[in-house]
């Protein structure tokens, strides 16, 4: 399962992938942040809670329906990733984020434009991921 974020040109920039349930009493989700751009590659294991993915799904669905607004993906359980997704006045999607690895004192910041036509796939990937995690 992957949730793939693309530039306006269709180029895959980063994904949230390899989701697994790791919490027994609390729905903690393990996943990997994978970033690819101009030969620069980052793979970082992270954690979230199921409601973080559900909030992302709801926010993306709202943006797709209304063509306005924004959503944050910022799981508090790890505190290591923050992604802001906003619809611009020109109908593009602005994606602005940071991810860090405190054990190595590193931080990656990124910002790029995507296209609203990618939203239905993003929403579908998010919903399929949630459904699969709920079944496990």
Domain that holds residue 108: 2-135
CATH at 70: 2.30.31
d(CA 40, CA 35): 8
d(CA 25, CA 134): 14
Number of domains in the chain: 1
Output the CA–CA distances (angstroms, integers) from residue 12 to 6, 34, 38, 79, 118, in the order listed: 4, 10, 11, 24, 11
Q: What is the pLDDT along the chain (136 residues), one digit of tens a residue?
A: 899 999 999 999 999 999 999 876 677 999 999 998 888 888 999 999 999 999 999 999 999 999 999 999 999 887 899 999 999 999 899 999 999 987 778 889 999 999 999 999 999 999 999 999 988 7
Tell me the pTM: 0.91
């Amino acid at each position: 399962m992957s949730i793939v974020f693309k530039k306006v040109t269709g180029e895959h920039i980063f994904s949230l992938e390899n989701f697994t349930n790791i919490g027994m009493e609390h729905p903690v989700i393990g996943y990997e942040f994978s970033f690819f751009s101009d030969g620069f590659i980052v793979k970082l294991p992270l954690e979230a809670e199921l409601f973080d993915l559900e909030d992302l799904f709801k926010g993306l669905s709202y943006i797709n329906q209304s063509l306005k607004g924004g959503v944050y993906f910022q799981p508090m359980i790890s505190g290591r990733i923050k992604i802001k997704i906003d619809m611009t006045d020109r109908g593009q999607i602005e994606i602005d984020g940071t991810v860090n690895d405190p054990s190595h004192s590193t931080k990656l910041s990124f910002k790029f434009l995507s296209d609203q036509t990618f939203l239905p796939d993003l929403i579908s990937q998010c919903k399929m991921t949630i459904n699969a995690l709920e079944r496990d």
